[in-house]
Amino acid sequence: MIKYRLISFFFLFYCAGAVSQVVEFKNVGCRISSKDISYVERIVRFESALYNNLFNTRSNDSLHIKVTVFGNPDEYRGVFLNETGGKGHGTNGFYSHRLNESFLYKRPEYLQTVVHEISHCMLAHNFSRAPRWLQEGMAEFCETLTIEDNKIVFSAQRSRINSVVHTVKGQPLKLREFFNSNRWGEKAQTPVLYDISYAVIYYLIKKNPNTLKQMLSYMGEGHNSIDAIEYSYGGFYNFENDFNRFYKNTLVKVF
């Protein structure tokens, strides 16, 4: 697996931020080891520094983060049903805006889900009306953060990137349509939308995180995603072309 050190842009902020981020875990019908808790707390400190940097704030350091972990998937689905009205099949966790709390069940890779859901919590704190692609793109990016050799690294999500590479090799992705359409309610579309959302964030962070930062600032003023890209990237057309070229040429060596 390809790993990247998060240096410069994010890393400097991480070093500067020494505030301890507290995550309040609740475990229902399962045990959470102290090793898992300290692992999550370390990643979340980084996540918090990342959001602080993207939104020019320090407020994420003192966010109250609540995570409930169920041992029994049916209990988890019961909460999912209560909060969303959906059945929750095919989901591993969710963040409730109403309760400002994340819920998940303890599958073997549950720590990834914890980090994913905490990203939703942080984004909601900084940008309450963030479009869905941004919510999921950021959360999918954050869930690849891990600690290796005592360093925070992020890795490429191969399957999502491969899916986008496969698509753009057929024909370029029409990103204007992607940002304009709202097909998140269509179950069959969901995996593709996750893939593209992640690919957009991955591309922006690899190319220049400052562009993403400018975009967020512009979107925070009420502009839509396309206008924000137009403004911060130097033209939406350029962004779309560069994005398609990046994935078509598979400059990301994920195979």
Which residues of the shown chain bind Zn ion in the complex (CB under 5 A)?
136, 139
Q: Alpha-carbon distance 52 to 90, whole Å?
A: 31
Consecutive H or E run containing 103: strand 101-105
Point out the residue whose Cβ comes nearest to Zn ion: 139
With respect to Zn ion, which residue has the nearer C-beta, 17 or 93?
Answer: 93
Q: Alpha-carbon distance 57 to 51, whole Å?
A: 8
Min dist. Cβ of residue 181 to Zn ion (A):
19
Min dist. Cβ of residue 255 to Zn ion (A):
26
Determine contact, residues 19/62, Cβ cutoff 8 Å.
yes
Min dist. Cβ of residue 254 to Zn ion (A):
21
With respect to Zn ion, which residue has the nearer C-beta, 118 or 168?
Answer: 118
Q: Alpha-carbon distance 121 to 232, whole Å?
A: 25
With respect to Zn ion, which residue has the nearer C-beta, 175 or 193?
Answer: 193
Min dist. Cβ of residue 118 to Zn ion (A):
11
Min dist. Cβ of residue 135 to Zn ion (A):
6
Q: Rounded to a whole number, what is the largest CA-CA distance in the chain?
A: 51
Determine how β-strand 101-105 pairs with β-strand 145-148.
Answer: unpaired
With respect to Zn ion, which residue has the nearer C-beta, 136 or 195?
Answer: 136
With respect to Zn ion, which residue has the nearer C-beta, 136 or 240?
Answer: 136
Q: Which two tokens stand for residue 68?
A: 């409930």
With respect to Zn ion, which residue has the nearer C-beta, 52 or 119?
Answer: 119
Determine contact, residues 113/143, Cβ cutoff 8 Å.
yes
Determine contact, residues 255/184, Cβ cutoff 8 Å.
no
Q: Which residues contact 108 (CB under 8 A, 6 or more apart)?
A: none
Min dist. Cβ of residue 116 to Zn ion (A):
6
Consecutive H or E run containing 169: helix 158-170
